Structure 1
Amino acid sequence: MRNSDYYLPAIALGIAFITKLPSLWRGWRDPLVRSVHFLLFTAAICFFFAAPPTITAVNRLTDTPNFSGPLVYCIMCAFSCACLVLIVNWRGGPREVVRRSSYTWITAYAAAVVALPVLFALGDAPVERLRDLDTYYANTPFVREMIVIYLAAHITSAAVTTAMCLRWAREVGQWLRLGLIVLVIGFLFNLFFGLTKLTAVFARWAGYDWDTLSTTVAPPMAAAGGLITTVGFLLPLLGPQVSDVCRAWITYTRLGALWRQLRSTPGDHTPLPQVAWWSDPELRLTVRETAIHDELLRLQPHLDDLVRQRAYDTATRSGLPAGQAHVVGVAAMVVAAVEERRRRTDPEADDRGPAGANALTAALSPGRDRLVHLSRALRSPYVAGAGRDATPAGTGSR
């Protein structure tokens, strides 16, 4: 692997960790929040310290050949523990059960983290190995045990979390299920990484040289597994927020036709609040939706139910379903009312105005989607000529 294959994921994960620090500050008492941040942190520093240039720098700084070995292994154990604890807290359940399971995994992996540097200190690894420490010292007393412990811890975490996610994915849906499926893929990469490394070590014990498995095949699996796993954890947390933002922008855009139609005439319109350019889409949508409702309310004196009925009849005769034809009729009535207001006519009181207002209210209630349907109906061919064909108020027919 190239050095950038280590540093780029480390930078990406570090940015994700930093951007989520405010949520850690607000919810540091929540075990789930702490677990997410610890996972991002350990994943980022694991990639950073596993890069060959960093390994060399750490070994030089400590003046100890292969000091980076147990350091990286300890970080990998911490990452494996973070995955398990996060899944346990994420899945939820009785508080005591969750707490007991979390403490059990933390205790087990803490013991492994303590054992790794002790075994390294007891062993003898004088020759610096940047990429093949696992296989080069596979038969060295104490160092051998250190290697087996970190691989066993990594494989156990990957296998257990994979099984937990598979069982859980059958019970949930939407973003959570997608996140769990992505997690399963990431954990499988981690599992294959550990098994590939362990196979190369076993081959050394048997007198064979399968070091390529450890130095060439396994590292890309670890890189892919770490990134995919992190994405899987973030998807259910960020996915709904991304969906809400996209949905707000789409709705905001779809209301554009109705917005422009209602404000196409010069004159006194509902004043709009100042919205900063960095405001979230939901606020912009709320402002636009509120202004549209205000403009429709001001337009009610100009509504003509005869225009709506005429457009409705034309649409139904053309084969349009009754529900869609009703929206089309209301859209035509709105277009005609805007055109009438543009002529500066003063509407006379009759029964067609209240009837049109009632039809408009029925078309818009309840829900935001009705407003979107009205906006989209403005593109209907049955609405295009409504403004030109409308009978002006104050004429003989009104």
Structure 2
Amino acid sequence: MNGSDYYIPALATGFALALKLPALARNWPDPLLRSVCALLALGTAVFFFSAPPTIARVNRLTGVPNVSGPLVYVLLSAFSASCVVLMVNWRGGPAEVTRRTSRRWVAGYGAVSLALIVLFALGDAPVERLRDLDTYYATTPYMREMIVLYLTGLTIAGVAMAWLCLRWSVQVGGLLRIGLVSIAVGYLFNLSYAAAKFTAVFARWAGRDDLDWLSTHTAPLLASVAAVFTAFGFCLPLAFQGLRHRLTIWSTYRQLGPLWHELRGLSPRGDQPQRLSWWPSAELLVIQRESDIHDGMLCLYPYFDDRVRSRAYAAAVSAGSGPDQAHAVADAVMVTTAVRARAADPEGTALDGPVRPHPPLPAHDVPRNLVRMSHALRHSPVVAAARTAGSRPEG
């Protein structure tokens, strides 16, 4: 009766939710992140309010015997809907279709939750039952319908989730497939939970109580196993996806380093860094580094020479570079040549000279082009040769 088998998972899911809340505050429009947080919040609530000590406490505080029954059933229904909505948003697709499908599931289980409350209000359940409410009131009018309704809702969600996961798993591979199969297995255990409950309830309808153990003892065990498989299935791909995203962002930040150092100090604010928050995100650091690079390029614009770039492009192609890489090498040569030309022109005479057309910087796929240019600055022999030769744009 101490409820530790319920409170420990509640603490675990609550801790996971606390870790996600800062990201939710920063990216509230993200439907996938909202779905994950809703799932964690409802999972925490289900475990907490299903614990027998909490059930007894809620019943005493409200003064209504067994009011915890419909409360837990409503939370389970909301949790079922949140799982399906998370899966729909996780899989993706046209935004309008995803929103419409999510709204339908939420509306459907919202109607189920309302019906559960109404049926409990109409029923008569004066004797408090902490563990066997389903079988004790299986033949009581309105309570009977409430029990069947919540089990039916769980069954529908279980079938939908298992089908969605298995159908999607054959189209993907790697950790995502492992996660989807794990979720499907978890929901098969959930279906076994509902089957055990239904069997005990149907036995009560037939006037037998010798199968109550299926509802009281077997079903909670099946639910615990289902929670383990489902949590593992959701957490593994999402955690790996988040880690991969973070690694990609930090890799971009690191790869932009050579180009950023080449242009550092050319922007109007000089070498003084932009003031950021005390703990800036990786995305913010990448944006700031890209902004510094673009500011430096704007200062170099009068010193860019398309003839330098054309010669460097021809040299890169001759050295065996593909078109995209040759363009990056040519841009890198033009930038580093312009940096030296600007350093040799402290009076800024190029700014007062005749206006002539300057080569445009790449406008498409900007982050990738900047990374290619940065890589060329450090590794291209064409850029190294241009630096050694001391190329200068003509004035």
Q: Structure 1-normalised TM-score?
A: 0.63
Q: Does 1:376 align with 2:367?
A: no
Counterpart of 1:259 in 2: which secondary structure?
helix
Counterpart of 2:379 in 1: which secondary structure?
coil
Identity of aligned residues (%): 34
| Equivalent position of 1:151 in the other structure | 151
Counterpart of 1:384 in 2: which secondary structure?
helix
Counterpart of 1:156 in 2: which secondary structure?
helix
Q: Contact 1:13 / 1:40 at 8 angstroms: preserved in 2?
A: yes
Q: Contact 1:257 / 1:376 at 8 angstroms: preserved in 2?
A: yes
| Equivalent position of 1:263 in the other structure | 264
- Partner letter of residue 330 of structure 1? D
- Partner letter of residue 118 of structure 2? V
Per-residue deviation at 1:216? 1.8
- Partner letter of residue 221 of structure 1? A
1:305, 1:72 → 2: CA distance?
A: 71
Per-residue deviation at 1:49? 0.6
Counterpart of 1:378 in 2: which secondary structure?
helix
Distance 1:194 1:309, change over 3 A: same
**Alignment coverage as a number of residue pairs:** 367
Counterpart of 1:365 in 2: which secondary structure?
coil
Q: Does 1:331 align with 2:332?
A: yes
Q: Contact 2:6 / 2:50 at 8 angstroms: preserved in 1?
A: no
Q: Contact 1:6 / 1:223 at 8 angstroms: preserved in 2?
A: no
Distance 1:181 1:354, change over 3 A: farther
1:260, 1:15 → 2: CA distance?
A: 35
Per-residue deviation at 1:280? 6.1
Q: Does 1:216 align with 2:214?
A: no
Q: Contact 1:340 / 1:392 at 8 angstroms: preserved in 2?
A: yes
Of 1, 13, 18, the match for 1:9: 13
- Partner letter of residue 317 of structure 1? S
Q: Contact 2:262 / 2:336 at 8 angstroms: preserved in 1?
A: yes
2:280, 2:21 → 1: CA distance?
A: 23
In angstroms, what is the RMSD of aligned CA positions?
5.8
2:22, 2:257 → 1: CA distance?
A: 36
- Partner letter of residue 263 of structure 1? R
Per-residue deviation at 1:260? 0.4
Q: Contact 1:36 / 1:86 at 8 angstroms: preserved in 2?
A: yes
Distance 1:157 1:389, change over 3 A: same
| Equivalent position of 1:365 in the other structure | 363
1:9, 1:287 → 2: CA distance?
A: 35
Q: Contact 1:3 / 1:51 at 8 angstroms: preserved in 2?
A: yes
- Unaligned 5+ runs, structure 1: 27-31
Q: Contact 1:262 / 1:296 at 8 angstroms: preserved in 2?
A: yes
| Equivalent position of 1:73 in the other structure | 73
2:269, 2:157 → 1: CA distance?
A: 66
Please show how residues 7-86 of structure 1 align to structure 2 within 5 Å. 7-10=11-14, 12-13=16-17, 42-59=42-59, 61=61, 68-80=68-80
Q: Does 1:111 align with 2:115?
A: yes
2:106, 2:117 → 1: CA distance?
A: 16
Distance 1:298 1:102, change over 3 A: closer
Q: Contact 2:14 / 2:41 at 8 angstroms: preserved in 1?
A: no
Distance 1:21 1:266, change over 3 A: closer
Residues 133-168 of structure 1 show CA distances to partners (whole Å, capped at 9, x for unaligned) of 546x377656666544432332234435666x5799
Of 101, 125, 136, the match for 1:121: 125
1:152, 1:119 → 2: CA distance?
A: 19
Residues 246-271 of structure 1 show CA distances to partners (whole Å, capped at 9, x for unaligned) of 87665444322111012278999488
Q: Contact 1:80 / 1:154 at 8 angstroms: preserved in 2?
A: yes
| Equivalent position of 1:295 in the other structure | 296
